[in-house]
């Protein structure tokens, strides 16, 4: 059960092979078993989920008579899932890992959550994030740190790190995440699962905290993480489309992965950005992907794109230009945080904030010091997005590293703190990206690659992901969770 896709579980429930209550109970039991070592689920709704599962089963049968035709059931009827804590669910906390918001309880529901529930999904609980979703390690002073199911000494990525960890552990078939600089893709990569960052403006972000502003409403994307690739497109269809609230979301046509002939695609293989070097093992596995697609008939071109060297500057400038509210103000929950003072408090153990969050608050001022340079960078960023778009075209994808290495040890990403630019550039380009797991390295840690497409071509990147899953095996249960009782007995450090 813990290796099946949500689509397969839904089919089993629909056919009567298994009940929703059995599926939900099994996954709740697994969360209870693995989460003491992971700290991924920060608030559960297990009792409510079991009641909803019983109702889902009852809706299918009524005294032995059909109460609802099987074909009329929603696509994920009775299937459990998890949701990133930043999405509003009535009666549950929505803090974004900020101590000042420890008492914030949602009264309304995020659009994406409503759409999942209307599609029959049952939410088991919410998952941990980095503080205010702006760092690549999921850790905060409210909920603590989340650990990797493949090695608890390593990070899970951020900010949808709790989602990546609990799905990677086999305890949730799929989950809901968000991504403004890699926050779906890095957790998917480090935890060995699939993740999809949609085209900008495809899925409304209504009901998230914090929510982006202005043009950044399209840089911030809401999307699925899943243990199997076949779930990505059905979930994306459920999530997509304007809700009349998110001004950055607009109607877009979605294609069908089944219509994609991978043998006729142009594949652009880009090994690095010339700014931060990628490990040899990630380079080797990306070469294996390129050769596999080439063997399928695809036109593979190995190139360098020099403008990607400026990914960090371009992302930072475009994010700053789109933001009216300072990050320091969000950290202070309305009153601007003073980074220097907060660093001093942190040094003596009295700060409610993490070092990366304080550092970002200190750094954001620098983007305002040279307005002329920032304006030029914004213009260059838009040009790079158009360049990438033209380069790929509707029948092209790019293979690109997800990070510079496999999941690093806790705190290691601070030295240096810029390796996440491999994912961030595609947010400001508003391009769809599917994160694809590619098996495990010799130390049992997940390998992977980003598959990037032109805007509106989400179905193409997902189609490639589905083919690569067949070739490389996709998500693999963490060996330590398969039978290591010592691992399961660990508590969060």
Give the residue numbers marked as catalytic.
84, 159, 183
In this structure, are residues 31 and 124 in contact, taking their beta carbons and an 8 Å threshold?
A: yes
In this structure, are residues 421 and 412 in contact, taking their beta carbons and an 8 Å threshold?
A: no
Greatest distance between any 2 Cα atoms in the chain: 72
SS3 11: helix
Q: Which DSSP string corresponds to 29-55?
A: HHHHHHHHHH--EEEE-HHHHHHHHHH
- How far apart, in whole angstroms, are the C-alpha atoms of residue 440 and residue 240? 32
In this structure, are residues 96 and 84 in contact, taking their beta carbons and an 8 Å threshold?
A: no
- How far apart, in whole angstroms, are the C-alpha atoms of residue 319 and residue 342? 24
In this structure, are residues 436 and 219 in contact, taking their beta carbons and an 8 Å threshold?
A: no
Q: Which DSSP string corresponds to 182-238?
A: STTHHHHHHTT-EEEEPPTTSS--TTBSS---TTHHHHSEEEEEESSGGGHHHHHHH
Q: What is the Cα 473 distance to its own chain's centre?
A: 20
In the 8-state DSSP scheme, what is residue 403? S
- How far apart, in whole angstroms, are the C-alpha atoms of residue 126 and residue 41? 6
- How far apart, in whole angstroms, are the C-alpha atoms of residue 142 and residue 169? 23
Nearest alpha-carbon partner for 113 in 132, 133, 90, 129 = 90
CA atoms within 13 A on the CB side of 222: 35
Residues 158-171 as b or e (16 or more Cβ within 10 Å = b): bbbbbbbbbbbbbb
**Span between the terminal Cα atoms of the chain, in Å:** 30
Secondary structure of the chain: what % helix, strand, coil (to 5)?
A: 45, 15, 40
SS3 398: strand
């Amino acid at each position: 059960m813990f290796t099946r896709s949500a689509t397969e579980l839904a089919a089993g429930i629909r056919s009567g092979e298994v009940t929703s209550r059995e599926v939900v109970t099994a996954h709740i039991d697994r969360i209870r078993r693995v989460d003491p070592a992971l700290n991924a689920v920060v608030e559960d709704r297990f009792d409510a989920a079991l009641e909803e599962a019983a109702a889902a089963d009852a809706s299918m049968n009524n005294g032995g008579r059909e109460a609802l035709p099987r074909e009329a059931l929603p696509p994920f009827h009775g299937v459990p899932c998890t949701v990133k804590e930043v999405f509003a669910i009535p009666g549950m906390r929505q803090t974004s890992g900020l101590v000042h918001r420890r008492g914030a309880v949602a009264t309304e529901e995020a659009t994406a959550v409503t759409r999942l529930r209307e599609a029959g999904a049952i939410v088991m609980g919410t998952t941990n994030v980095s503080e205010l979703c702006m760092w690549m390690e999921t850790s905060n002073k409210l909920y603590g740190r989340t650990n990797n199911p493949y090695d608890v000494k390593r990070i899970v990525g951020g900010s949808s790190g709790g989602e990546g960890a609990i799905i990677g552990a086999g305890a949730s078939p799929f989950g809901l995440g968000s991504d403004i600089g890699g926050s779906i893709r890095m957790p998917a990569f480090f935890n060995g699962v699939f993740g999809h960052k949609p085209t900008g403006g495809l899925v409304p972000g209504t009901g998230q905290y914090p929510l982006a502003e202005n043009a950044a409403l399209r840089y911030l994307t809401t999307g699925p993480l899943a243990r199997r690739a076949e779930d990505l497109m059905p979930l994306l269809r459920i999530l997509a489309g304007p809700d009349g609230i998110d001004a950055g979301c607009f109607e877009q046509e979605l294609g069908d992965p089944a219509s994609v002939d991978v043998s006729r695609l142009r594949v652009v293989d880009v090994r690095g950005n010339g700014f931060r070097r990628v490990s040899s093992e990630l380079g080797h596995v990306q070469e294996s992907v390129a050769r596999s697609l080439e063997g399928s008939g695809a036109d593979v071109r190995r190139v360098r794109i020099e403008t990607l060297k400026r990914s960090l500057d371009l992302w930072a400038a475009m994010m700053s230009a789109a933001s009216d509210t300072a990050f320091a103000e969000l950290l202070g929950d309305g009153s601007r945080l003073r980074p220097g003072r907060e660093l001093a408090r942190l040094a003596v153990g009295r700060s409610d904030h993490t070092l990366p969050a304080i550092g970002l608050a200190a750094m954001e001022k620098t983007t305002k010091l040279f307005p002329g340079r920032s304006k030029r960078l914004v213009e260059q960023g838009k040009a790079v997005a158009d360049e990438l778009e033209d380069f790929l075209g509707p029948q092209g994808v790019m293979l690109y590293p997800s990070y510079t290495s496999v999941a690093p040890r806790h705190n290691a990403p601070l030295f240096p703190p810029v390796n996440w630019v491999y994912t961030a550039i595609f947010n400001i380009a508003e391009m769809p990206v599917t994160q694809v797991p590619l098996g495990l390295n010799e130390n049992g840690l997940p390998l992977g690659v980003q598959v990037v497409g032109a805007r509106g071509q989400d179905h193409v990147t997902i189609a490639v992901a589905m083919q690569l899953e067949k070739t490389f095996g996709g998500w693999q249960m963490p060996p330590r969770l398969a039978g290591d009782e010592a691992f399961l007995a660990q508590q969060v450090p």
